[in-house]
Structure 1
Amino acid sequence: MSALASLVHAYNGLLEGRQVPFFGYSLEKIGFEIVLCPDGTPTGYPTDRREGEGKSKTPMLMPVPQPKKRTLDVAPNFLWDKTSYALGVTAGGRKRTAQEHAAFVTRHREALQATNDEGLRVLLRFLDTWRPEDFERLGWPEEMKDQNIVFSLESDRGSNTRIHDRAAARTLWASLCAPDEKTKAACLVTGEHSSIARLHPAIKGVSGAQSAGASIVSFNLDAFRSYGHNQGDNAPVSEFAAFAYTSALNFFLDKGNGHRVQIGDASTVFWANASQAHASEATNIFAALLGVEPVDEMVETKKVGAILEAIRQGKPVMSFTPDLPRGVRFHVLALAPNAARLSVRFYIEDDFGALAARYLDHVERMRISPPPREDAAGTWRLLIETAVQRKSENIPPRLAGDWLRAVLVGTPYPLTMLSTILARLRADRDVNAVRVGILKSVLIRNFDFVKEAPVALDRQNLNPGYLLGRLFATYEYLQTQSFAGNLNATIRDQYYGAASATPRSVFPLLQRKATHHLAKLRKDKPGLAINLDRKIGEIFELASPDSLFVRTLNSQFQALFAIGYYHQRNDFYRRREGTAAASEE
């Protein structure tokens, strides 16, 4: 099933739960509501429909007749709009505000002139008598300007019904939306012979895209025309399918619905083909896997935590999810901004259990000893290690999407992950558990380095990169002990980049320094000096300096250098902490 077809299927499920609007309507941000008397005059102060307090107020999402996609043309909406159209006032004082308001009035006079519905007639009376200067005369708030507004009747004040909700308004809107019979063709999404959408509704909520919305499907230049077709006819999608997939996608992209996570520059949404309760459970588990806290209160946090722990321990997922139907199809769609369009970074559809199993494989490849102090399973926690200064805005955009896709599909990781982590190690020399785990996972998945890249310290590992990393850690520990920790910078700060890439240029110098450090340590801590000298000898027993100090190390061996360094360095300090604890007892 294609991404658009899956979204149409998801729309039908969301519609059953009243989570998305009916065909022809969309959820829009409404700031204020004007209540009208029977004669068309406002009852008084407009009702503020924003939620929150002070400057943090946010408009209320409300189903309203679907807006037109605006470019440079004046295009009024039906029965609602922003104040420049509906009232002729704006905070910016734009030149065409009068033109926008005139278009709003004209459209409604033409559409409502034959109606007998009292609510629609009241709106007409309001538009006939309203003047933009009335806004100041009535003392309406400045913060109302440029907000979207709706209208309601004083008689409907207690029923939570607006004019656009009235049965007559719905019927009229359906007739206004009736497409031209000449545009019928086979829909590429549903397969039905139906009216084709010329323009698709805007998709909103993708980070970095235009605030007015962007499109996955659009044809706005003659170069995109095929066989003389115009715009949407080049990729025929029915009016209903276009509305359905964009409505579902806009719902999933809303940050408050728990179906999205930002992975680099890609806004990634996910959903399940299941009932609302089952889908909520699946999406919360998936969000937690990606390092996002569960947001749906219907799903118990403890249960999600137990499922995650089961996955990490390699236990069957189904045994911990009795409420999750077997074979539930799960969908993951990543969208990246591209001017007025959206690029699909990837789309995955698979059994939820299969996705969880691949995630388990990924976690196992990442396993390193000693483990990170914080949980490193979340994708964001991994990707932040690739960023300069560990700032999320510096995460390489394409790398983030490619990495997540590899984890979920089970394909080799992008090699740019290997080169990026190695570059960060050379730049900041922070050889931590998360970075080493990433390097280990790439070596195992992409190069089958199962034996060469162990979980814990392997004293029999003969790989030159791993041995050099162990030796470098030993030299560093020897240096810190000989100076009793009184150092402004260690050899890691000075030589890590060169030692891991061009060993022959650095290690002879480090050998001479080690000889000096051993001589100094013998005076203060002779026992420790003997042990470290023996440790260096054990490494050279596995490989001689001539064979070990090669001219260069390739990227795989540089990764093994980091793993060997991490293992050996932590082994020293773990032994030291154990000795200190024993002496205290």
Structure 2
Amino acid sequence: MILQALNTYYQRLLARGEEGLSPFGYSPEKISYEILLAPDGRVVEVNDIRDTSGKKPLPRSMNVPQPEKRTVGIKSNFLWDKTSYVLGASATSKRADKEHEAFKTLHQESLKDTQDSGLKALLNFMSAWKPERFSDAPFKSEMLDANIVFRLDGERTHLHERPAAQTVRARLLGSDDAAAPALAHCLVTGERLPVARLHPAIKGVNGAQSSGASIVSFNLESFTSYGKSQGENAPVSEQAAFAYTTVLNHLLRRGEHNRQRIQIGDASVVFWAEADDADQAQEAELTFESLLNAPPDDSQEAARVRDVLQQIAKGRPLSELNPKLQDGTRMFVLGLAPNASRISIRFWETDTLGGFAQRLAQHAADFRLEPVPWKTAPAARRIVLATVPNREGAIPKMDDAFNNLVGEFMRSVLNGRPYPRSLLANTLMRIRSDGNLSGLRAAICKGILAREKRLGINIHIHKEEVPVSLDKQSENPGYRLGRLFAVLEAVQRSALGGQVNATIRDRYYGAASATPASVFPVLLRNTQNHMGRLRKDKPGLAVNLEKDIREIVDGLSEQFPRSLRIEDQGRFAIGYYHQSQSRFTKNGAEAEQDTADTNTNDTEGAPA
């Protein structure tokens, strides 16, 4: 299914004339230099063709004959390669002489009957070239181990682009192996074609080998069966193997203009739309990318994403929001992750654009929390980051995220199923370990529990709706205890002011949320000391805090629960967030005025 969808997308892009997409037998590679040859094989000039638009020169991507798969053997590429093969010079290879000999042998045998002037020039160059000449001008030491192509002086096209070279290349593709490729019915296209023994490498997956890795490969005897070897075990034609790997490399390309790739944890996520109209497909891909990876700031794009999600949640079709969008446009989402020398499929989801948009809108609704702790609903990447350790003075890193959690969470977002319970467990563990109960972490707890309640999962546990904003009527013990803990912390902060080295949250949050009976009696006794100080310094505030404590405790059972299950620990975090944020919902001026009025009124009736 995955390979079929990729093959279809390749054919569609190729028919559309997509820039940078290689035809069969070619692939985009990083080229740094070109050698200009005279018809007699003399070197006219060596040109640096690297991209110099950035801070430092970078190799230029160029469609060249597909490279050979190298492990420990010596195999030469056709009409291009690195300096150890082309010139017999290298700063790292200890077998440059053998590699250069392989380059000469390949071209002398494959081009011996050519009548093309450019290819003849290359043969003349190799006949006269000696590796010792690399130390002379116009060659430079900085060229060592860079990739090189050839061009005939006075012409614009490179040798590998000449029609005669392409004809030779097609002939070589049909005779790469000592024996002719086996014929079989291709699992991708269904046609009877030569089977690819090895599939081309896939590059661009974060964490995978820089030389590329494979989704399909059989490199051990234990992977084979019925006497078949390599790709014969799962027959995919050479054309189909080239098509799916080429378009996947195209989707994985790096650059600011690629809006079809997102990195989430260790997963390199790519997606594409299937539509007859190119503009419609591109608009669908841009919309999907913005919904899946909304910008974190309060920019115009972020505001547009918020509006789209709100309109979708109300049931409005996408075509009403943008005439170029159609709810029925087919979308494909593929998550890839490194796995030794292979690439593993982290997740694979297909649906219509409308279906994905509705699930993303529901995801935003499940995570909705008031007061809103963000300017834009958090993208999947930010949610995953919230589960990693917060090192003092350091920004959380995606490398610290649990890899399996990334795939499970993304599948839940895209298919609308329950979020992984491991997300709740990891979030609570991080809150206890680093004491950071941010709004995003509270929203994670709320989203997981709210979705389970909505889907009817664990009904005996989720007897009560998960509140979006402060709910003083909630009878859930976890939620009430979280509120109580926030009030007790507020008492401590109000009484001690800036003299607090570590609040009760820093010292007791983990125990209070897991084993309330062992902590809350102690906290309540200590709170009386702080309340005594508040009654003298801030009597109005003391009255209000006492009212909050009384109201919360009255809704609890006579004894604090000995322990809270993980769902109630999640509600504890939500209750803490709601209660602690309830005092900061107004702007500073209004808050100061309210405090002054409360202190004046309450002082009159406060006990002496």
TM-score with structure 2 setting the length: 0.90
* Alignment match of 2:520 (pick from 477, 492, 507): 507
SS in 2 for 1:483: helix
Distance 1:499 1:33 in 2: 69
Which residue of structure 2 lines up, in the alignment, with residue 287 of structure 1? 289
Which residue of structure 1 lines up, in the alignment, with residue 170 of structure 2? 174
Question: What residue identity is the alignment partner of 2:359?
Answer: R
Within a 5 Å distance, the mapping from 1:48-447 to structure 2 comes to 48-52=48-52, 56-92=56-92, 94-156=93-155, 159=156, 161-178=157-174, 183-256=182-255, 257-274=258-275, 275-291=277-293, 306=304, 308-313=306-311, 314-315=313-314, 316=316, 317-389=318-390, 390-447=396-453
Which residue of structure 1 lines up, in the alignment, with residue 457 of structure 2? none
Shift of residue 376, structure 1, vs aligned partner: 3.8
* Alignment match of 2:487 (pick from 470, 474, 477): 474
Distance 1:511 1:559 in 2: 22
CA 1:175–1:575: 2 relative to 1, 3 Å: closer
Q: Residue 285 of structure 1 contacts residue 308 of structure 1 at CA under 8 Å; is this kept in 2? A: no
* Alignment match of 1:580 (pick from 592, 596, 608): 592
Q: Residue 187 of structure 2 contacts residue 234 of structure 2 at CA under 8 Å; is this kept in 1? A: yes
Shift of residue 572, structure 1, vs aligned partner: 2.5
Which residue of structure 2 lines up, in the alignment, with residue 571 of structure 1? 582
Distance 1:341 1:5 in 2: 20
Please list the CA deviations of residues 297-351 of structure 1 after superposition, one character each: whole Å capped at 9, or x if unmatched.
Answer: xxxx967863552124425333112112441111111111111111111111110
Distance 2:540 2:303 in 1: 47
Q: Residue 326 of structure 2 contacts residue 353 of structure 2 at CA under 8 Å; is this kept in 1? A: no
Please list the CA deviations of residues 82-131 of structure 1 after superposition, one character each: whole Å capped at 9, or x if unmatched.
Answer: 11111111122x22110000000000000000111111111111111111
Mean Cα deviation higher: 409-418 or 174-183: 174-183
Please list the CA deviations of residues 150-173 of structure 1 after superposition, one character each: whole Å capped at 9, or x if unmatched.
Answer: 0001120xx3x1001001111111
SS in 1 for 2:280: helix
Mean Cα deviation higher: 462-471 or 332-341: 332-341
Mean Cα deviation higher: 388-397 or 145-154: 388-397
Distance 1:544 1:347 in 2: 47
Distance 1:505 1:147 in 2: 67
Shift of residue 139, structure 1, vs aligned partner: 4.4
Which residue of structure 2 lines up, in the alignment, with residue 5 of structure 1? 4
Q: Residue 535 of structure 2 contacts residue 542 of structure 2 at CA under 8 Å; is this kept in 1? A: yes
Distance 1:168 1:304 in 2: 52
SS in 1 for 2:585: helix
Structure 2: gaps (5+ residues): 391-395, 455-461, 598-608
Shift of residue 353, structure 1, vs aligned partner: 0.9
Which residue of structure 2 lines up, in the alignment, with residue 552 of structure 1? 563
Q: Residue 481 of structure 2 contacts residue 572 of structure 2 at CA under 8 Å; is this kept in 1? A: yes
Shift of residue 532, structure 1, vs aligned partner: 1.2
Distance 2:488 2:547 in 1: 12
* Alignment match of 2:466 (pick from 426, 429, 453): 453
Shift of residue 570, structure 1, vs aligned partner: 0.7
Q: Residue 17 of structure 1 contacts residue 276 of structure 1 at CA under 8 Å; is this kept in 2? A: no
Mean Cα deviation higher: 356-365 or 6-15: 6-15
Shift of residue 53, structure 1, vs aligned partner: 5.7
Shift of residue 469, structure 1, vs aligned partner: 0.3
Which residue of structure 2 lines up, in the alignment, with residue 22 of structure 1? 23
CA 1:307–1:444: 2 relative to 1, 3 Å: closer
Count of residue pairs the alignment pairs up: 571
Distance 2:463 2:282 in 1: 37
Question: What residue identity is the alignment partner of 1:195?
Answer: P
Please list the CA deviations of residues 232-256 of structure 1 after superposition, one character each: whole Å capped at 9, or x if unmatched.
Answer: 0000000100000000000000122
Q: Residue 504 of structure 1 contacts residue 551 of structure 1 at CA under 8 Å; is this kept in 2? A: yes
CA 1:37–1:238: 2 relative to 1, 3 Å: same
Which residue of structure 1 lines up, in the alignment, with residue 600 of structure 2? none
Question: What residue identity is the alignment partner of 2:304?
Answer: A
Q: Residue 464 of structure 2 contacts residue 476 of structure 2 at CA under 8 Å; is this kept in 1? A: no
CA 1:482–1:545: 2 relative to 1, 3 Å: farther
Distance 1:233 1:127 in 2: 37
Please list the CA deviations of residues 256-282 of structure 1 after superposition, one character each: whole Å capped at 9, or x if unmatched.
Answer: 222211111111111111343223222
CA 1:412–1:54: 2 relative to 1, 3 Å: closer
Distance 1:138 1:409 in 2: 61
SS in 1 for 2:206: coil
Q: In the alignment, does 2:538 pair up with 1:537?
A: no
Distance 1:52 1:376 in 2: 38
Mean Cα deviation higher: 186-195 or 313-322: 313-322
Which residue of structure 2 lines up, in the alignment, with residue 298 of structure 1? none
Percent identity, aligned pairs only, is 47
Distance 1:576 1:372 in 2: 15
Which residue of structure 1 lines up, in the alignment, with residue 459 of structure 2? none
Shift of residue 446, structure 1, vs aligned partner: 2.6
Distance 1:450 1:149 in 2: 68
TM-score with structure 1 setting the length: 0.94
Distance 1:292 1:101 in 2: 50
Shift of residue 402, structure 1, vs aligned partner: 1.2
Please list the CA deviations of residues 2-28 of structure 1 after superposition, one character each: whole Å capped at 9, or x if unmatched.
Answer: 111111011112212233111111111
Q: Residue 265 of structure 2 contacts residue 403 of structure 2 at CA under 8 Å; is this kept in 1? A: yes
Distance 2:505 2:366 in 1: 26
Shift of residue 288, structure 1, vs aligned partner: 2.0
Shift of residue 468, structure 1, vs aligned partner: 0.2
Question: What residue identity is the alignment partner of 2:328?
Answer: G
Q: Residue 318 of structure 1 contacts residue 353 of structure 1 at CA under 8 Å; is this kept in 2? A: no
Distance 2:435 2:451 in 1: 25
SS in 1 for 2:28: strand
Which residue of structure 1 lines up, in the alignment, with residue 458 of structure 2? none
CA 1:282–1:337: 2 relative to 1, 3 Å: same
